[in-house]
Chain A
């Protein structure tokens, strides 16, 4: 690391918000290092997880737009059943418990990952997967019930946005479950390589994100 021979840190404080042409007043000396000869690698895991945080931000914006639509259309019943008639907070509360348990199971998966326990990670993912699948089963039951009563999204603006918002969260769940299944196979075949570890970390972010969405759905739509 021949790098800090001229004191870059001191330079920073002095030049941080100075006017343009005063910043280049540092003279080079014989010890100035022009090329970085340290063999440094960018930290792949941190770069990948940072990118995934950015992706989550974009996903959050999609949901922000959907919740905006919900706020505008929530009372547009157009003669079709109202929210009070079709929404069951008790049922949704049980779904909420499933979402939280699945996230908890995934949290335990992460602590197994810290200990490098392959069996612990795989078991944790399988448990999160099963609880997540149970949630989707409850949701399927709820919506097939509505459709069988003829309460379909094309009957009113409210029903359109109700279906859209709940099912977009459901789609996130489906995608997360698929991701979990792939990760189990990858861990078994490749072990904890850099690629596998950053994907597990991103999956954790994603899984907690869908839980956050569900909390919003539960509070705004069901309560």
Chain B
């Protein structure tokens, strides 16, 4: 049943061979040296400070949703950096390879990357940015914030949460490994059929792509189950649906998408796997396969996936904008319905990714209209944010700058999206860089929201703020860089430049491509200030110390506990009386965080099992990519055994006695200087009509 492979194969190491390691490519050797150096610095630092045990106890085996969220975001940030390097490489190749006179280096006819290498770089860029950078960061944010916003102690299934984290990490690790051992896919991040079939891609690149996505998307599906169950089952008393914060609502909508869409991707990749490993004919060009079946199934997942990413970003904007407008969100109900409608509509528009397939005018008209309908709930959201800001007392702290910037990107990306929803226009610009510029506007909107969310919630998680001056500088470099890269890209799209070009035959396009390269340079400057901001903020963290209510005008429940949040979240579960409970309590002057009495708290125990499952999944993925059957069989058996053994362990929880909670609360509040949190800095108390001056409460 197994297919015949080109090239050598041995039972012991499968398709592995020394010549699979690209030691002769200086670009990859450079990346390898950088990665090894970074890992060595990290390991050296941990060893030098004697923190291996701390790392194991507090991070690697944790089931705390906040720490898991932080690790998700760290994985996403590392991959965001990798994806950004890929982007810079693509831009540099294009600026070097314009016109027949352009020089070639490192074995390329033009530029510095031969087509096969270039194809891998843009495929990796897309797959990494969407699935291994933005997705983990958003999942991480939801992990941290959702339980806090609904007044829960942890997620519904803390152990499953850790499993999801490690599976996502395994996917990212496989992508990184493909850089140094073997190849990555050269068939685009979408996996163009029949190019992904074995006869056209005989190497291991497509297999890396398949298994990295397959394993991490199991993690994403499990995470979606966890978040939905958490929101449905773990809300504090009084947190009825009509009081749920909008970010939590968008998390709900997005995870309904995740739960239903990712399995379709799993099935699609499973069928492609059968084609590549067993020689079946699902998506082959002959023998009864159907190429467009793959494209349809892929985008049936792919389009909901886009809204999976954008909805949490909308939720973030809905939290940041009211805080810095100092008033409640306009049109809460419309906002909630819009989120759910977008989630539903995400299932009806997938074919707009390939209007040129030739499905006929009726099919195209249906998907065109469905696509345009998505603009209605999205427009409702934009107007709601605008009306929130209308006649508000606005403050432009860093998170607010990112949020407003995101609105402009949404406008640009949304309107070009409406253009592309018209099949007649789409036929003109299909596969041009106009489309690339469109969806980068949308993904940049998500990135802006993420940057805003990180600066907004950073003090909540770590107890100190990020430096504002440097944060604003990072923002403005991002803005200028985005304009420099994407305005020329829209223009080039209209001029007829197609996507995925490793060589550009029109010398007249050079000035615009140079502008894009300068934009990439500005992103590098932004990255420099970003690193500097984190360094300065950590160094001077005492100066940036923030209380529970870090921005003074916050509204939802997560600001009603200490910063940084204790591992049990709330000493006693709060009772919720209003939408925007924390704003309500501030209005009523009920800002003390000290309850009348403390109680025992039930918490889940740390466990190394998720990490072990992650390690075994990595072995499984590696074995399947290189077709080392004994390793694959061994690791899958081990996974089943570990799951069964774990199921016999009934000692998974522990209790913190009330007295201990009280002691920690007193200690913690002593350290952060305050339990009464309604105090505003002097410049913020002036002119406050809506909030009564806070008075100390001893309730």
B248 beta carbon closer than 8 Å to chain A: no
- A190 CB, nearest partner CB in chain B, Å: 7
Residue of A nearest to B152 (CB): A42
Residues 1-26 of chain A, each 1 if its beta carbon lies under 8 Å from chain B, else 0: 00100101001100111111101101
Question: Beyond A23-B578, A34-B595, A68-B297, is A61–B572 a contact (Cβ under 8 Å)?
Answer: no
B285-341 residues at the A interface, CB under 8 angstroms: 286-290, 293, 297, 300, 327-333
From B157, B229, B577, A26 is in contact (CB under 8 Å) with B577
- A193 CB, nearest partner CB in chain B, Å: 6
A130 beta carbon closer than 8 Å to chain B: no
Point out the residues of chain B lying under 8 angstroms from A152, CB to CB.
1
A35 and B572 contact, CB distance less than 8 A: yes
Point out the residues of chain A lying under 8 angstroms from B699, CB to CB.
34
A164 beta carbon closer than 8 Å to chain B: yes
From B262, B279, B329, A58 is in contact (CB under 8 Å) with B262
From A28, A58, A195, B588 is in contact (CB under 8 Å) with A28
Point out the residues of chain B lying under 8 angstroms from A62, CB to CB.
263-264, 266-267, 270
B590 and A28 contact, CB distance less than 8 A: yes
B229-288 residues at the A interface, CB under 8 angstroms: 229, 232-234, 236-238, 240, 242-243, 259-264, 266-268, 270-271, 274-275, 278-282, 284, 286-288
B389-425 residues at the A interface, CB under 8 angstroms: none
B468 beta carbon closer than 8 Å to chain A: no
A20 and B331 contact, CB distance less than 8 A: yes
From B225, B264, B271, A61 is in contact (CB under 8 Å) with B264
Point out the residues of chain B lying under 8 angstroms from A18, CB to CB.
333
How far is it, in angstroms, between the C-alpha of A155 and the C-alpha of B287 when the chains are bound? 7
A24 and B333 contact, CB distance less than 8 A: no
B575 beta carbon closer than 8 Å to chain A: yes
How far is it, in angstroms, between the C-alpha of A161 and the C-alpha of B289 when the chains are bound? 10
B288 and A157 contact, CB distance less than 8 A: yes
B287 and A78 contact, CB distance less than 8 A: yes
Question: Beyond A34-B699, A36-B573, is A50–B578 a contact (Cβ under 8 Å)?
Answer: no
How far is it, in angstroms, between the C-alpha of A181 and the C-alpha of B581 when the chains are bound? 49
Point out the residues of chain A lying under 8 angstroms from B287, CB to CB.
78, 155-157
Point out the residues of chain A lying under 8 angstroms from B228, CB to CB.
54
A15-63 residues at the B interface, CB under 8 angstroms: 15-21, 23-24, 26-28, 32-37, 39-42, 46-48, 50-51, 54-55, 57-59, 61-63
Point out the residues of chain A lying under 8 angstroms from B280, CB to CB.
153-154, 159-160, 163-164
A17 and B242 contact, CB distance less than 8 A: yes
How far is it, in angstroms, between the C-alpha of A153 and the C-alpha of B584 when the chains are bound? 64
B596-622 residues at the A interface, CB under 8 angstroms: 596-597, 599-600, 602
B6 beta carbon closer than 8 Å to chain A: no
Residue of B nearest to A18 (CB): B333
Residue of A nearest to B587 (CB): A24
Point out the residues of chain A lying under 8 angstroms from B364, CB to CB.
none
Residue of B nearest to A57 (CB): B259
B526 beta carbon closer than 8 Å to chain A: no
A36 and B572 contact, CB distance less than 8 A: yes
Point out the residues of chain A lying under 8 angstroms from B602, CB to CB.
41
B648 beta carbon closer than 8 Å to chain A: yes
B123 beta carbon closer than 8 Å to chain A: no
A33 and B297 contact, CB distance less than 8 A: no
Point out the residues of chain B lying under 8 angstroms from A36, CB to CB.
236-237, 572-575
A206 beta carbon closer than 8 Å to chain B: no
Point out the residues of chain B lying under 8 angstroms from A65, CB to CB.
263-264, 267-268, 297, 300
B562 beta carbon closer than 8 Å to chain A: no
Stretch of A69-77, A87-95, A100-108 that contacts chain B: A69-77
B435 beta carbon closer than 8 Å to chain A: no
B640 beta carbon closer than 8 Å to chain A: yes
Point out the residues of chain A lying under 8 angstroms from B268, CB to CB.
65
Point out the residues of chain A lying under 8 angstroms from B595, CB to CB.
34-35, 37
A154 and B264 contact, CB distance less than 8 A: no
B156 beta carbon closer than 8 Å to chain A: yes
Point out the residues of chain A lying under 8 angstroms from B86, CB to CB.
none
B225 and A58 contact, CB distance less than 8 A: yes
Point out the residues of chain A lying under 8 angstroms from B650, CB to CB.
190, 193, 195
How far is it, in angstroms, between the C-alpha of A153 and the C-alpha of B282 when the chains are bound? 10
Question: Beyond A37-B597, A42-B234, A62-B263, is A154–B1 a contact (Cβ under 8 Å)?
Answer: yes
- B331 CB, nearest partner CB in chain A, Å: 7
How far is it, in angstroms, between the C-alpha of A133 and the C-alpha of B246 when the chains are bound? 49
A157 and B579 contact, CB distance less than 8 A: no
A178 beta carbon closer than 8 Å to chain B: yes
A136 beta carbon closer than 8 Å to chain B: no
- A45 CB, nearest partner CB in chain B, Å: 11
A73 and B290 contact, CB distance less than 8 A: yes
A66 beta carbon closer than 8 Å to chain B: yes
From B263, B290, B329, B579, A15 is in contact (CB under 8 Å) with B579
B225 and A51 contact, CB distance less than 8 A: yes
Q: How large is the interface on B (under 10, 10 to 19, 20 to 34, 35 or more residues)?
A: 35 or more
Point out the residues of chain A lying under 8 angstroms from B533, CB to CB.
none
Question: Beyond A20-B331, A37-B572, is A12–B263 a contact (Cβ under 8 Å)?
Answer: no
Point out the residues of chain A lying under 8 angstroms from B644, CB to CB.
182
A199 beta carbon closer than 8 Å to chain B: yes
How far is it, in angstroms, between the C-alpha of A129 and the C-alpha of B278 when the chains are bound? 30
- B194 CB, nearest partner CB in chain A, Å: 13
- A217 CB, nearest partner CB in chain B, Å: 15
How far is it, in angstroms, between the C-alpha of A32 and the C-alpha of B574 when the chains are bound? 12
How far is it, in angstroms, between the C-alpha of A6 and the C-alpha of B160 when the chains are bound? 37
Question: Beyond A35-B596, A54-B225, A58-B263, is A24–B580 a contact (Cβ under 8 Å)?
Answer: yes
A141 beta carbon closer than 8 Å to chain B: no
Residue of B nearest to A156 (CB): B288
Question: Beyond A3-B237, A35-B572, A35-B596, is A78–B288 a contact (Cβ under 8 Å)?
Answer: yes
How far is it, in angstroms, between the C-alpha of A47 and the C-alpha of B238 when the chains are bound? 19
Question: Beyond A20-B330, A46-B233, A54-B229, is A3–B575 a contact (Cβ under 8 Å)?
Answer: yes
Question: Beyond A41-B602, A157-B289, is A199–B647 a contact (Cβ under 8 Å)?
Answer: yes
- A49 CB, nearest partner CB in chain B, Å: 10
A154 and B278 contact, CB distance less than 8 A: yes
Residue of A nearest to B297 (CB): A65
Residue of A nearest to B261 (CB): A61
B185 beta carbon closer than 8 Å to chain A: no
Point out the residues of chain B lying under 8 angstroms from A63, CB to CB.
267
How far is it, in angstroms, between the C-alpha of A33 and the C-alpha of B590 when the chains are bound? 11
A158 beta carbon closer than 8 Å to chain B: yes
Point out the residues of chain B lying under 8 angstroms from A27, CB to CB.
588
A117 beta carbon closer than 8 Å to chain B: no
Point out the residues of chain B lying under 8 angstroms from A15, CB to CB.
242, 579
How far is it, in angstroms, between the C-alpha of A178 and the C-alpha of B643 when the chains are bound? 12
Point out the residues of chain A lying under 8 angstroms from B577, CB to CB.
6, 8, 11, 26, 28, 32
Point out the residues of chain A lying under 8 angstroms from B574, CB to CB.
34-36
B267 and A58 contact, CB distance less than 8 A: no
A78 and B588 contact, CB distance less than 8 A: no
Sample 27 A-B pairs with CB under 8 A, ordered by A number.
A8-B577, A11-B577, A16-B242, A20-B330, A23-B242, A24-B579, A24-B583, A24-B584, A27-B588, A34-B574, A34-B590, A34-B595, A41-B602, A51-B229, A54-B229, A57-B260, A58-B260, A58-B262, A69-B293, A73-B288, A152-B1, A153-B279, A156-B281, A156-B287, A164-B280, A186-B647, A186-B648
Interface residues of A (CB under 8 A from B): 3, 6, 8, 11-12, 15-21, 23-24, 26-28, 32-37, 39-42, 46-48, 50-51, 54-55, 57-59, 61-66, 68-69, 72-73, 76-78, 80, 152-161, 163-164, 178, 182, 186, 189-190, 193, 195, 199
Apart from A34-B590, A58-B260, list 6 A-B contacts with CB within 8 A.
Answer: A18-B333, A24-B583, A34-B585, A58-B262, A69-B297, A153-B280
**Which 10 pairs between the two chains have the least Cβ-Cβ distance?**
A157-B288, A76-B288, A160-B280, A65-B267, A78-B288, A61-B263, A35-B595, A154-B279, A28-B588, A35-B572
